Amino acid sequence: FFALSVFKFTRSDIIAALFCASQKTLAFGLPLINTIFEGNPNMAIYSAPVMLMHPLQLMIGSALVPRLEKYSKGELTQQEETVIPTETAQPKAEPSATESTLVISCNKLWIGQVIGSQGSTLKDLQSSTGANISVGDSEKDPMSITITGSPTAVKAASSKIEVIIQNAENPDYEGTEGKKWREEADQCAKKAEECAKEKDELFDKGDKSAGHAKLDEVKEWQ
């Protein structure tokens, strides 16, 4: 108890250590005695002090509870005097006060451009703008894209998404954007072909579970 006080532990930690450490006497003592004196006919005599010490510790601990409760409350009073005024002097604003939400409608045909291959475009949009973007029910057309975050993040994300949708509706096949799409399409087709070969090999080996999983991957790349 006094050693922990010297090392400047909090009062709550000191009380916890005082009670928890004493409970290890029986847990450590009996296995240790059993290991050292295994097979000794006086095993019961050697174990008696440890077994008597445990309930004695419980009784002493119970008697100390009122005293330790006052000791702990003394610490809480000190915390109230030093911490609470500082926190109340500088209250934190509610997160919802600075958060805004915007919903954009997107034709189901173009939603794939917003999401990207395996969600890559959506992840890039979120990381670059700091907004949280979620796509609505895939059964509906048009689909909804919900953007939440700070007003600046929402504005940046919505602007980028609108550009993606406009490019999808009016593609510039000969320009820079068209070239980018053709390259992405070639990469996806190549990846789908590789996965298809792996799928066939798995089915040939009789691994149907892995084969079906690879088939799903082929569909994703397609």
Instruction: Say what the pLDDT of residue 156 is.
Output: 92
Q: Tell me: the pLDDT tens digits for 92-101? A: 444 455 788 8
Q: Give me the DSSP letters along 147-175.
A: EEE-HHHHHHHHHHHHHHHHHHHS--TTS
Q: Which residue type does 170 have?
A: N
Which of the four pLDDT bands, split at 50, 70 and 90, describes residue 7? low
Contact (Cβ atoms closer than 8 angstroms) between residue 135 and residue 115: yes
CB 101 within 8 A of CB 147: yes
- Asked if the model's pLDDT at residue 82 lies above 70, the reply is no
**Which percentage of the chain shows pLDDT scores above 90?**
4
The Cα–Cα gap between 116 and 134 comes to 13
Among candidate residues 22, 12, 124, 16, the one with its CA nearest the CA of residue 79 = 12
| 115-127 per-position pLDDT tens digit | 888 788 888 899 9
Selected residue with higher pLDDT from 76 and 151: 151
Residue 105's DSSP bridge partners are 144
Q: Where are the domains of the chain?
A: 2-88, 94-170, 173-222
Q: What is the tens place of the pLDDT at every residue in 43-52?
A: 788 788 877 7
Query: Which range among 80-89, 131-140, 167-176, 186-195 shows the weakest confidence by mean pLDDT?
Result: 80-89
**90 pLDDT exceeds 70?**
no
Mean pLDDT of the chain: 75
For residue 7, what is the enclosing H or E element?
none
Q: How far apart are CA 218 and CA 82, in angstroms?
A: 62
Residue-wise pLDDT for 169-200, tens only, equals: 776 666 666 677 778 878 888 888 888 888 88
Cβ-based neighbours of 124, under 8 Å, separated by 6 or more: 116
Write down the CATH number for the domain with range 94-170: 3.30.1370.10
In this model, does residue 74 exceed pLDDT 70? no
Confidence of residue 36 (pLDDT cuts 50, 70, 90): confident
